[in-house]
Amino acid sequence: MHTTSPTHQLKPGGDAPFDADSTLYYLDSPRRRLFNHSVVLVGLAAYALYLGYRTCCTMNPATPIFSGLLLAAEIHGFFSLFFFFFQIWNRRGRTVPAPDPDVTVDVFITTYNEDADLLRQTIRGALAMRHPHRTFILDDGRRPHVRALAEELGCEYLTRSTNEHAKAGNFNNAFLQTSGTLVATFDADHVPRADFLERTIGFFRDPKVALVQVPQQYHNLDSLQHKIDHSTRRIYSEQDVFFELVCPGKDHWNAAFFCGTGAVLRRTALEPYGGLVVGSITEDMHTCLELHSAGWKSVYLNEMLVTGLAPMDFKTFQAQRLRWAEGNLKIIKSINPLTCPGLTLGQRICYIASMYHWTIGIPKMLFYLSPPWILFTHAFPIVNFGPTFLTIYAFFLVSLVLSYRILSRGTGRLFMDEFFNMVTAFTLIRATNRMLFGRMPAKFVVTDKRGSGRPSVAEALPHIALIVFSGLALEWGVLSLTYAVSDDWFGSGATMFWTLYNVALAGGAVRLALRPPQQRLSCRFDASLPVEVKWDGCPAAEVGITRNISDSGCALLWKTRLAKQTQGSLVLHIGNRQLRCRAEILSVRADAGSWVEHGVRFVDLPIADVDFINDAVFNMIVPRLFRHLSRPALSVRLLRYLVKTATRRFAARPNRVTASVPVRLEHARREWLVTSVDISHTGLGLVMPVELPAGASVHVTVFGAHGTWDRQATVIRTERVPCSTPSLQTWTTGLLLSAADLREAVDLEVAA
């Protein structure tokens, strides 16, 4: 994902109308594209050869149904791979054209039952977007406090007497009462960045563009679909492959589709349908299919311009996936991408691929149930299961893994993808079942943004059943070998290994379902912010640092252990602003190195300060967090390390280590309390709220866990951190310390 895409230079004074296709550019070089295409062809050819061998040489005539089903599941996998490769054949980026200053925009925030504090963040984010616009809160819950919130914040409130057609109906109700040329739409939890409109509406200079979609990123990184590895600074999100690979690939085929939120639509394109197309629970894809069929263009801009909340628990996650799967599959009953007029071949295949993806549940279930079935019945679906088969299978598997890894450019992680296939398999079977045998009427289920607040045992029962079934099959297999019921040690061993792999995946799914529910009312975001606190009874204020923060409290790292319920006056330094409030210690947690972590609650924080913290979170902390966690893949890091090591021999620069400690910096009779980002024996990296000139002499005081030390330093570099809000702008600043006798002090800090 780009932090910022390149700017598109409009031709001055030309008569030719702007064409949005001119903003497209290839994300890969011609040589890399040629390589990618070769990998695609080799991967598909290897799969096809394997299937040919399976069909001709390994079908077991003694178990025709079982053999046939397993082969059918493998053929399904071949088409999955084909569709995936087709969609990512060429990935495209977009340059961003300047917005038309005269275009009018209506911003819709759809809500039904979400909390007011959640809505508050979204409304404030929407109101703060640059470019003139009108913001509407569309409340299907008809709640007086939401009306009051709208009035307080200065946006318009719309509601209706029924909830017909759920979200689409809500949107359409507002659509008929408004008149802006463009309509931007957000879910209640999706907070837009201040430059959202500036970055997206320029594409509508092309009169054929009906939709601009941006990726859905989620700021609650402790959600069910995220996995963060802080040591490698890598983040996995279950939807990364879709938004990072598939959507830029779809954009190549003019098949990027509407994802329901974080999008801008052209009013005239929607007018024939009275807004969004109704009659489906995935109105977004259905609408886009109709728009493409009518000849409109769509644009996918891969920039993080809006962030929302991902499901926090298993139940909510499964409910969301069931709705998506059911809706996507049922669209084919209303409009068939293969036969509907107006679509290009590429668009048809992309839409079929999107629907086909949701049918993966049944073949996956066959793969999960086959090994235990084999162990119970000793009926092998594959004959000639020997070294020849294993060699061919290994060749096929290696080609599959390699082609996926190469083409997913570090985004796709096969094991994690397999894990989430296990998590969703039973839900996708339910969706397929509903599509085939019907369930009337299909009901739109609003995703619970806070989670259900309890472990989802019921939702994990299918996985538990699979583990039990597999475990019993393993025992049966061992007993069978022990008492010579079966003497196929090779086949049984391979089947047991396969069973154990599936049990591990299912066990992970159960663990995910049973994980403790989120207790906090608001999300906490990892952020190292300097804090000054004067605890009651202490003579003077001291300095600490946050580990994470929310609008109701923070995790505070402090040099000494403090008692619970201690209160004090806290000054939080965010950018150029200092936020003052009373604070109370609620908990004392395990030591983090030499620092002690305390759970701190902000006492009676004024609403203006709550808003300020949220502004800082969504415009400064979250983007910084995503940048921090988007470390390149291991191969790239290894290459960089080798280059760095080779050049360091000549530069002789000490290695810098990531370390966040509070630092007071004085320059030109001004002082700032800031945070370090890295540290070495001779230098220091800081995040500064001002831009200091290179060569400036400054005085720094470092507040370490093992004492405070101060030195003169010289600014050697400053670099602007991309930020959509000028008031929260920061710069990373590199300092060269004037005394090189800091080895011991720095080592202590790094250890802490």
Is 514 an interacting residue with respect to another protein (CB under 8 A)?
Answer: yes
Is 89 an interacting residue with respect to another protein (CB under 8 A)?
Answer: no
Work out which of 21, 152, 271, 475 binds another protein, going by CB under 8 A.
475
Minimum distance of another protein from residue 483's CB (angstroms): 5
Work out which of 57, 398, 414, 457 binds another protein, going by CB under 8 A.
457
Minimum distance of another protein from residue 68's CB (angstroms): 22
Distance CA 648, CA 29 (A): 30
**Cβ nearer to another protein, comparing 15 with 487:** 487
Question: Residue 582 is encoded by which pair of tokens?
Answer: 């009373």
Burial 414-441 (b: 16+ CB within 10 A, else e): eebeebbbbbbbbbbbbbbebbeeeeee
Binding residues among 416-455 for another protein as defined by CB under 8 A: 455
Candidates 164-172, 252-260, 472-480, 615-623; binding stretch for another protein (CB under 8 A): 472-480
Minimum distance of another protein from residue 476's CB (angstroms): 7
Is 476 an interacting residue with respect to another protein (CB under 8 A)?
Answer: yes
Minimum distance of another protein from residue 329's CB (angstroms): 32
**Cβ nearer to another protein, comparing 485 with 638:** 485
**Beta-strand relationship, 217-218 and 191-192:** unpaired
Work out which of 37, 226, 227, 378 binds another protein, going by CB under 8 A.
378
Candidates 38-46, 317-325, 478-486, 726-734; binding stretch for another protein (CB under 8 A): 478-486
Work out which of 48, 72, 401, 485 binds another protein, going by CB under 8 A.
485
Minimum distance of another protein from residue 316's CB (angstroms): 19
Q: Which of 526, 533, 521 is nearest to 585 (CA)?
A: 533
Collect all residues with Cβ–Cβ distance below 8 Å to 71 and sequence separation of at least 6. Answer: 51, 54, 55, 59, 381
CA angle 44, 503, 519 (to 5 degrees): 105
Ordered alpha helix ranges (H), 483-550: 489-513
Identified catalytic residue from 139, 187, 206, 284: 284
Is 141 an interacting residue with respect to another protein (CB under 8 A)?
Answer: no
102 counts as catalytic: no
Candidates 17-25, 165-173, 484-492, 525-533; binding stretch for another protein (CB under 8 A): 484-492
Candidates 284-292, 385-393, 465-473, 742-750; binding stretch for another protein (CB under 8 A): 465-473
What SS3 state is found at 198?
helix
Distance CA 126, CA 268 (A): 23
Question: Residue 741 is encoded by which pair of tokens?
Answer: 């006798």
**Cβ nearer to another protein, comparing 454 with 589:** 454
Residue 233 backbone class (left: φ over 0; alpha: ψ -120 to 50; beta: rest): left
Binding residues among 353-372 for another protein as defined by CB under 8 A: none
Is 484 an interacting residue with respect to another protein (CB under 8 A)?
Answer: yes
Minimum distance of another protein from residue 315's CB (angstroms): 14
Distance CA 680, CA 678 (A): 7
Work out which of 479, 592, 636, 694 binds another protein, going by CB under 8 A.
479
Question: Residue 627 is encoded by which pair of tokens?
Answer: 């940048």
Residue with tokens 């594209």: 33
- The pair phi, psi for residue 412, each rounded to 5°, is -80, 135
- The pair phi, psi for residue 209, each rounded to 5°, is -80, 125
Work out which of 15, 102, 487, 604 binds another protein, going by CB under 8 A.
487
Minimum distance of another protein from residue 511's CB (angstroms): 10
What SS3 state is found at 261?
coil
What SS3 state is found at 240?
helix
**Cβ nearer to another protein, comparing 27 with 464:** 464
Candidates 106-114, 291-299, 485-493, 593-601; binding stretch for another protein (CB under 8 A): 485-493
Identified catalytic residue from 106, 140, 195, 251: 140
Is 471 an interacting residue with respect to another protein (CB under 8 A)?
Answer: yes
Candidates 224-232, 308-316, 474-482, 638-646; binding stretch for another protein (CB under 8 A): 474-482
Minimum distance of another protein from residue 468's CB (angstroms): 6
Minimum distance of another protein from residue 467's CB (angstroms): 9
Is 465 an interacting residue with respect to another protein (CB under 8 A)?
Answer: no
What SS3 state is found at 8?
coil
**Cβ nearer to another protein, comparing 128 with 474:** 474
Question: What count of residues does the chain have?
Answer: 752
Ordered alpha helix ranges (H), 335-413: 345-357, 361-377, 387-407
417 counts as catalytic: no
Distance CA 348, CA 255 (A): 9
CB 94 within 8 A of CB 206: no
Minimum distance of another protein from residue 513's CB (angstroms): 10
**Cβ nearer to another protein, comparing 468 with 642:** 468
Work out which of 486, 552, 566, 714 binds another protein, going by CB under 8 A.
486
Is 61 an interacting residue with respect to another protein (CB under 8 A)?
Answer: no
**Cβ nearer to another protein, comparing 29 with 482:** 482
**Cβ nearer to another protein, comparing 77 with 455:** 455
**Cβ nearer to another protein, comparing 485 with 668:** 485
Q: Which of 427, 417, 428, 429 is nearest to 505 (CA)?
A: 417
Collect all residues with Cβ–Cβ distance below 8 Å to 82 and sequence separation of at least 6. Answer: 44
For the CA atoms of 538, 542, 546, 547, the dihedral, rounded to the nearest 10 degrees, stands at -90
Work out which of 176, 401, 468, 634 binds another protein, going by CB under 8 A.
468
Question: Residue 662 is encoded by which pair of tokens?
Answer: 């509070």
CB 654 within 8 A of CB 680: yes
Question: Residue 297 is encoded by which pair of tokens?
Answer: 């263009």
Candidates 466-474, 711-719, 727-735, 738-746; binding stretch for another protein (CB under 8 A): 466-474
Minimum distance of another protein from residue 485's CB (angstroms): 6
**Cβ nearer to another protein, comparing 486 with 718:** 486
Minimum distance of another protein from residue 508's CB (angstroms): 15
| Residues touching another protein, count (CB under 8 A) | 16
Is 472 an interacting residue with respect to another protein (CB under 8 A)?
Answer: yes
Burial 626-639 (b: 16+ CB within 10 A, else e): beebeeeeeeeeee
Collect all residues with Cβ–Cβ distance below 8 Å to 545 and sequence separation of at least 6. Answer: 528, 529, 530, 531, 556, 557, 595, 660, 661, 662, 675
Distance CA 109, CA 173 (A): 12
Distance CA 362, CA 75 (A): 13
Which helix (H) or strand (E) segment holds residue 76: the answer is helix 64-87
Enumerate the active-site residues.
Answer: 140, 284
Which stretches of the chain bind another protein, using CB under 8 A? 378, 455, 457, 468, 471-472, 475-476, 479, 482-487, 514
